[in-house]
Structure 1
Amino acid sequence: MLPAFTLALVIGAFASTAPAQAQSAVDEGRNLAFDRGKGNCLTCHVIKGGTLPGSIGPELRDIKSKYPKREDLVAILNDETQRNPLTVMPPFGRNRILTEKEINAVVDFLQTL
């Protein structure tokens, strides 16, 4: 009986940390998107909750309906020139402005908009 109880506690502990980790990634993504020295998304985009946005890029809203496939957003942040050679979107991944983990956190955040 004790091993089954212990296993249940361990599974419960992991299950309860998943939502917290997801929220943590969203918060990290928001911080990166709003950070003028890192993601710097506000230089070009209007984002709800951001201050002093730019108007070069489209407003970032309804992202999940516009880009239902997560990998599309990852590709855009990594190097949009692969999809659109004429873009002014910085290649955050290719130029190592953001790490893969940071790009994924920004995508987590964008999917909440």
Structure 2
Amino acid sequence: MTAFSCKPALLVALALLAGTAAPSARAQSAVADGERLAFDRGKGNCLTCHVIKGGDLPGTIGPELKDLKSKYPDRNELFAIIFDETKRNPQTMMPPFGRNRILTDQEISAIVDFLQTL
């Protein structure tokens, strides 16, 4: 095999490695964005009502946010709760963050990514 014939194989191997590393970096970025939004008192504001590990001055109106990946293995259910919990529980005090356009779908998705790490 010549050096020239090895180059395509090397490029394929590098592309495969890059493809596996990229989602991990993107996932870490989404989790960091979600944490920032969840703790942001002017945006997600989750700490107003919920205890979240690492958060300062949490509220106690809502449940503590922990073990959410095991409670909600389908991330779409957790997304729907944040988007508009009134559909599932009309008596909730939780604002419909998506329906009222407090958070975008992308922001809610990042928060879900973060919450699933707790």
TM-score range, shorter chain: over 0.9
SS at match of 1:25: helix
TM superposition score normalised by structure 1: 0.95
Letter in 1 for 2:12: L
Give 2:86's match in structure 1, choosing from 77, 81, 88: 81
Give 2:16's match in structure 1, choosing from 11, 18, 25: 11
SS at match of 2:78: helix
Task: Identify the residue that residue 33 of structure 2 maps to in structure 1.
Answer: 28
Give 1:91's match in structure 2, choosing from 93, 96, 117: 96
Cα distance in 1, alignment partners of residues 59 and 14 from structure 2? 49
Task: Identify the residue that residue 57 of structure 2 maps to in structure 1.
Answer: 52
Gaps of 5+ in 1: none
Number of equivalenced pairs = 113
Give 1:110's match in structure 2, choosing from 84, 94, 115: 115
Letter in 1 for 2:88: R
Letter in 1 for 2:98: G
SS at match of 2:51: coil
Deviations 1:6-56 (A, max 9, x none): 122122222212111111111100000000000000000000000000011
Higher-Rg member (1/2): 2
TM superposition score normalised by structure 2: 0.91
Give 1:64's match in structure 2, choosing from 62, 69, 75: 69
How far off its partner does 1:3 sit? 2.1
Higher deviation after alignment, 46-55 or 17-26: 17-26
Letter in 2 for 1:95: N
Gaps of 5+ in 2: none
SS at match of 1:75: helix
Task: Identify the residue that residue 105 of structure 2 maps to in structure 1.
Answer: 100
